[in-house]
Amino acid sequence: MRRRASLVLLALAVFCAALAPLLRWYAYPRLAKIPPNQYQEVVLEAKDATLLDYTGGMQPKKVDKVTIVQTLKGNVEASREIEASAGKDVVVWDTLSYIIGPDGAMVSQIPERYIFDAHTQAPVHATGEMVDGDPVRREGIEFKWPFFTEPRDYLYFDAQTRTTSPIHYAGPRRYQGLDVYYFEQQIPWTKVRMPKKMPIEGIDPATIEAATGTTLWYKATARFWVDPVTGAPVNAEQDIEQEMRGGIAAGGPDGRLTAFAGQVRMREDYAAHTVALVKSNRTKVLALHTYAPAALAAGGLLLLGAALWVEARARRRGPGPGEA
């Protein structure tokens, strides 16, 4: 019986030893991925900001608050269509940034379609990839870092400029009980396209630029606190400045008018919700990547040791009743 027990223990040890790498290198890449049907809403605010008063003489004025509502919705049907040709799991996010002034009126809204690999978060180029209706070809990441983010610089896509540039790793940080990586990106003054949706009905931004020579310029400092396990930002801030230059802005100082200036930050209740969600997902990812494979490997070693111990005792005591 002891030798049968040792054989059972040995079989379990082999099973655990085989399952550990299978879980880590086969199951993890296939199970740790962004779901195609994800929906998320985040509210950001810029308090004590400067905003161009489009209906009050086209002059910048100080306002108590500008609100940005960002919605993200996974497009399952589009994901399936692209997966058929891409040969891998693909996520399609349809996002909308809806900017609201202090009076509750819309200032602008910018839709995006972001297509990426569900596991690596690398961009996947397909028809429909766009920002504000303009086709783009993203390079680098946007919205989310890869699982198990490394402490290094990454390429990050800026939707305003439609360009990719490095976002620099600036060291570890502690944020609401989480050990995170801090990243920062500087966007210098860059001419950008005016939003297609403006606060005054009937205004065509392209016509304004062509007829009056008015251009929109933008610069920003973006800061992200990223959970290195899930790659999800738990907090984000941006110092943004936008100026109209030339044309209808000719009456402003140096031919410029501030369209917007302020620090955009995640509202506290949404930041707390994001941290709670990331903590939950972090545990699931670590279970697949680290905890379960390590436990199986350790269990296999313990079972192997027990099998050898049982076999050694059986040999010392000789065959038991009913054993040859």
Residues 269-324 pLDDT 10s: 999 999 999 999 999 898 888 888 888 888 878 877 777 777 677 677 655 555 54
Residues 38-55 pLDDT 10s: 999 999 999 999 998 877
Distance of CA 101 to the CA centre of its chain: 26
Residue 68 to residue 62: CA distance in whole angstroms: 17
Together in a domain, 19 and 37:
no
Residue 86 to residue 304: CA distance in whole angstroms: 44
The answer to whether position 275 is within a domain reads: no
Together in a domain, 228 and 297:
no
pTM, two decimal places? 0.87
Three-state DSSP class for residue 137: coil
The answer to whether position 271 is within a domain reads: no
Together in a domain, 234 and 110:
yes
Instruction: Give percent above pLDDT 90 in the chain.
Output: 60
The answer to whether position 187 is within a domain reads: yes
Together in a domain, 92 and 15:
no
pLDDT at 321: 54
Q: Answer positive or negative: Cα dihedral of 138, 143, 145, 151.
A: positive
Together in a domain, 92 and 228:
yes
Q: Which of 165-169, 204-208, 279-283 has the lowest mean pLDDT?
A: 204-208
Domain range enclosing 293: 2-24+286-317
CA angle 65, 69, 70 (to 5 degrees): 140
Three-state DSSP class for residue 222: strand
Q: Answer positive or negative: Cα dihedral of 277, 278, 279, 285.
A: positive
Domain count across the chain: 2
The answer to whether position 311 is within a domain reads: yes
Contact 177, 160 (CB under 8 A): no
